[in-house]
Amino acid sequence: MNFWRTLSLVGIVTILTLLMGCVSKVSSIKLDQDALSDPNEGYLLLGINSDVSLTSIEISGPKNIKLTSADLREGSRYILV
């Protein structure tokens, strides 16, 4: 009987501890903001879905960009520029 009493006491304490963690108030550390220094700059997210083996992707414009397979993470199909 003493074993079952101890086991049930440990179970009750464990459940109460988990419930106390669920009711704790969580506050935000900071506001998540993307602050760009130049209003003419931004982000570009490219999705890559191709059966062809690509050597590189070149984007021409005021700033030329060349992306290679080294820019693509293993197992990912997206590049954030």
pLDDT of 11 higher than 80: yes
pTM for this one?
0.40
pLDDT of 26 higher than 70: no
What does the pLDDT read at residue 24?
66
Can you list the pairs that 76-81 forms with residues at least 24 positions away whose Cβ atoms lie under 8 Å? 77/47, 77/48, 77/49, 78/45, 78/46, 78/47, 78/48, 79/45, 79/46, 79/48, 80/43, 80/44, 80/45, 80/46, 81/43, 81/44, 81/45, 81/46
Q: What is the mean pLDDT of the chain?
A: 77
What does the pLDDT read at residue 29?
63
pLDDT of 21 higher than 70: yes
